[in-house]
Amino acid sequence: MNKKEILEKFSADPQRYYNVNLFEEQGFERRSCNVCNRFFWTLDSERVKCPDHSDDTYSFIGDPPTSKRFDYTQSWKEVESFFVKNNHTSINRYPVVCRWRDDLYFTIASIVDFQRVMGSKVVFEFPANPLVVPQTCLRFKDLENVGVTGRHFSSFCMIGQHSIPNENGYWKDECVNLDFNLLTQQFGIAKKEITFVEDVWEGGGSFGSSLEYFVRGLELGNAVFTEFQGDLSSYKTLDQRIIDMGAGLERFAWITMGTPTAYDCCFGPITQKLIQKVGIDTNSSVLVPYFTEIAKNLELYDDLAQVRKNAIKTTGLSDEQINQIITPLEGIYLIIDHIRTLIFAISDGALPSNVGGGYNLRIMLRRIVSTMGRLKLKFDLDEIIDIQIDYLKNTYPELENTREDVKEIISIETGRYDISKQRMQKIVSKLNKEPKVEDLITLYESDGVTPEYLKEMKVISEIPSTFYSKLSDLHQSKKQKDQVNLPLEGILDTELLFYGEDPREFSAKVLKSFENFVVLDKTAFYARGGGQEPDYGEINGQEIVDITKHGNIVVHEIKGEIPKEGDVVSCKVDGKRREGITKNHTSTHIINTSARSVLGSWVWQHSAFKEEDHARLDITHHSALTDEDVSSIEKAANSIIAKSIPVKIENFDRGAAEQKYGFRIYQGGVVPVKSVRIVSIGDLDIEACGGTHVANTQDIEQIKITKTKRIQDGVVRIEFVSGDSAKEFVKKKQLYSESKEKEEKLKEQEKEKRIERRQIAKERIPFIAKSLLESEQGISTIDEITIELAESGKANFCYSTSNNYDDVFHIGLGEMLCKTDPKMIYCGLFEQGDKIRVIVYAGDDISKEKSAGEIVRSISQILGGAGGGSPKFAQGGGTDKSKKEDAIKNAKSMIIE
Ligand SMILES: [Zn+2]
Ligand SMILES: [Zn+2]
């Protein structure tokens, strides 16, 4: 079933699918476009083409069809007051980071606000009926169009008009009636200007007809009637039919203002400010025809470069006009658009990174910086953020709270990009041919080189139009959960005692047992879930090794004999383990909120793990934590414990909880059930959570952070202990630091002794040398140094293997001896740590026959190592300390024949 087939079928029966009261009352005529054959409804008897092919397409640029002018902020006020007047509830936007769906990073349409995934089904939960919402939506597929086409944005406000046809809501007739009146009455657009085009929508197993409404070729909105499920040969009406009307607020503003681009009237005063700063002549009569041409060509060509080329040609722009006006304007539009998107995303807790949704934010920031670099624009990003938030807060007052956080993140990220530019420069200098799209993706994915940078460096002239959509696809991959299939069909849900009285001992009936698994009618054993590890204990004296939850059924895995189905078994929960896990679990809530208050609003739980004697919380944060951060978080956490705050647990309807507490409750991810368990620690931390918790923060006694680490881009791991484990950790740490102190002291003493010995030895070298040189023919030993004067008179050998001498001594003595006696060979062996070192000197005469280097090589080999040097001086060594004497014997044999 594809859209074309549905449209054909529906358009074949317009009476049933498209005709509405309004069309009858006003006398709309249904026509087929004489270019593309699509059906549309109009009051204009002369209109023979659909909006895509009409001659008046985009003629509102420079000549708006409304008597009043409304910018972005004012347009929303108009839309809102119209719908409120008509019995709609105006609700606040939902976050742009889509916390309530685990298959989406960002909110992409207003209807997404109300979709909740339950298993494989999508259900709708509306906080009011009917309602209207100014939903900011993020879309990254058309990034290369942003700033160039006049109407593409990376984020836009979708006016969501939603209704369920029941005693409060309405269906098609009323919807189209309202939309028509909104345009004609509220915005003052002439009835004849409005065209409704027949279309269809399908997705997620349901489908329905839709009416797109256009004014002068600009699609302002699309009213979708989600009505059926099944396929075209057999479909039935949904139990829950829904009106999903989405309209672009930016386009409403644009059509009333008639500015060359939608960007000129949707970003507030910042656009003019930057245009003035750069000194672009926007009064020039070139803009209106140019952007009108761009808009028209966009319907004809897919390739943006082609669109731009045609528009330039048709309007006859000179190179100078392009360079002085069009190109810098495109840059300014891009920068403002991208910053607006970043303001929403960062305010709602997303961070630029190289993973998941954060990746799109990083690429936008790099586009901003690259564009400024390429066009040599010197803008103060903080100032742009300030002016934008000042403007946006008319519609979205909550953005005021995160103003400084947005600036902080953008400045950190910009700084990082500047640093990575140096690395990119190196990589780019090695490119020997113009990279293709695939190469560009590899360059970005593995080396972080953005195509904007390559454009800035003139390596490529244009960014291929498929780059961003390909990249976006690459990062859209969804998380897949492992499904384990156990034979649990027909078994009743397990009663969960740990949410009630939570006994440590209880008896229960065995509903099912197979392999090593047991299912009971009720259980006080907590099953692994939400990062909390399972309880341990015994069922009929048999040890439990794991507990998992499958739907609402708890499965216990035991070691040893399993009970029979129907048996009543006695069960014992390991209370000490549970207590440890519970303290650690509540501590994750406390650390999470402490980290957010210390670090910033962007801190969210990324994941968590709670065991009996340790736990960890991974949070979203831009950098590794400093020692100061860690101690501040730990201090904040312990002060929450000291305040003895009761931990409250309440059950709410999911929608009610979201409205009451916002989406911060989803720290642990999406909750796939209608009733949510809200755990609150005063008003400091409120989360939807199914784990076990202490009754009061003071029960935790103490929290100690043991280690932190940046585990991936944008995520920091905090490892910690609490309760007894924390006390033990502190004690151990103290003992450790005491023993460490002792060890340090001993080391220090040893060092001092060594220095002293060395000093003494140094002073004594001349005396020792003198005594050695004065010794008699034969072998004699002085102060552990042996000297042997050869009978042949050709060579003298002096050596020491004492560990009382070090390298400084041997070098000093060896040099002195060999200088005085040109036939002398000196060999010093000494241990240093786990190694044994050797130093050899040879006097002038003897070195001509017996090289110090060769002697060292030979000795080192015996010691299991290596060494070398010149004929007069060499050093080396090995590790085999037991070979010391062998080594000396070998040396002697080499010297004295
Ligand atoms: Zn057409
Ligand atoms: Zn919890």
Instruction: Give distance in angstroms: CA of 507 to centre of ligand 2.
Output: 27
Distance from the alpha carbon of residue 657 to the mean position of ligand 1, in angstroms: 47
Tell me which ligand sits closest to the C-alpha of residue 36.
Answer: 1
Cβ proximity of 688 and 665 under 8 Å:
yes
634 CA from centroid of ligand 1 (Å): 65
What's the confidence (pLDDT) of residue 479?
41
Answer whether 847's CB lies under 8 Å from 819's CB.
Answer: no
Quick one: CA torsion of 815, 817, 821, 827, rounded to 10 degrees? -80
What are the residues whose beta carbons fall under 8 Å from the beta carbon of 427, sequence distance 6 or more? 443, 447, 449
- 314 Cα–ligand 1 center, Å: 23
Q: How many CA atoms lie within 13 A of 323 on its CB side?
A: 5
Q: How close is the Cα of 581 to the center of ligand 2, in Å?
A: 11
Crossing angle, helix 381-392 and helix 403-429, to 10 degrees? Answer: 140
Distance from Cα 612 to the centre of ligand 2, integer Å: 15
Ligand 1 centroid from CA 561, angstroms: 75
pTM for the model:
0.78
pLDDT at 476: 55
pLDDT tens string 358-385: 888 998 999 999 899 889 999 999 999 9
Share in percent of the chain as helix, strand, coil (round to 5): 40, 25, 35
> What is the overall mean pLDDT for the chain?
91
Contacts of 739 (CB under 8 A, 6+ apart): none
Q: Which bound ligand lies closest to the C-alpha atom of 195? A: 1
Q: In sequence order, which residues have a C-beta less than 8 Å from that of residue 104 and are 6 or more positions away?
A: 98, 112
Distance, CA 690 to ligand 1 centroid (Å)? 55
CA-to-CA distance for 432 and 423, rounded, in angstroms? 17
Q: How far is the CA of 624 from the centre of ligand 2 (A)?
A: 25
Torsion angle, alpha carbons of 269, 273, 279, 280, to 10: -20
- Within 10 angstroms of residue 303's Cβ, the number of other Cβ atoms is 12
Give 125: exposed, middle or buried? Use CB within 10 Å, 0-12, 13-18, 19+.
Answer: middle
pLDDT at position 480, please? 43
Using the mean position of ligand 2's atoms as its centre, give its distance from the Cα of residue 120 in Å: 26
How far apart are the CA of 755 and the centre of ligand 1, in A? 95
Q: Which ligand is nearest to the CA of 37?
A: 1
pLDDT number for residue 483:
53
Residues in the chain with pLDDT < 50? 477-482
- Kindly list the protein residues that place their beta carbon closer than 5 angstroms to ligand 1, a single-atom ion: 33, 35-36, 50, 52-53
Report which bound ligand comes closest to the CA of 610. Answer: 2
Q: List C-alpha distances in Å: 536 to 520, 521, 526, 561, 869.
A: 15, 18, 9, 16, 66
